Amino acid sequence: MLPHQILFDEKTIRVRVDEMAESIASDLEGKQVILLGLLTGSFVFMADLARALFRFDIEPKVDFLAVSHYGQTKDPTRPVRIDKDTSMKVCEQAVLVVDDIVDSGRSLAKVMEHLRLQQPAWLRSCVFLDKPSLRLVPLKADYVGFEVEDVWLIGYGMDLAGEGRGLPYIGKVEQ
């Protein structure tokens, strides 16, 4: 396992996800919502968020999108590509795009624009972690769990070269 320091423990994560779900449920005002998770990192957060929304009488539909732009490099200027689109009709639906972390903002911006063209009735973005210091496009997520500094994070669905994804907390990788 990679050496790391716990940044957000399980209890802190659970409390924050519940707070976010309460805010989202309030904004939805009882509407049915489609949660669209960005693969792969969002799957743990999205599962917790779906269960938390259910506690606020919102039973979401769930689907995923896959977006890529780095390929085998870490070049943030490569074009963003949607590799897997949603299989659900989003026109005139309430849609919440869910991601684990937003840094440059390029992937989330691409997905939001792609979905806007499909004319959902309600479209918002929800990220568990936000690294605004790395933003390359003007983007602000509608719901944010925590703002974090520019460090590599693992756990709670996020990994580094395949390690750490299953950790029940979020850890800061030690250099």
DSSP 29: T
Burial of 102 (0-12, 13-18, 19+ CB in 10 A): buried
- Region class of 83: left (phi > 0), else alpha (psi between -120 and 50), else beta: alpha
Catalytic residue among 103, 130, 150, 159: 103
Q: Tokens standing for 87?
A: 């299989």
Q: Please indicate whether residue 9 is annotated as part of the active site.
A: no
The residue ranges of DSSP E strands in the chain, in sequence order, are: 4-8, 33-39, 61-68, 81-84, 94-102, 122-130, 143-147, 153-154, 170-173
Closest CA to 99 of 52, 133, 135, 142: 142
Q: Which helix (H) or strand (E) holds 112?
A: helix 106-116
Residues recognised as catalytic: 103
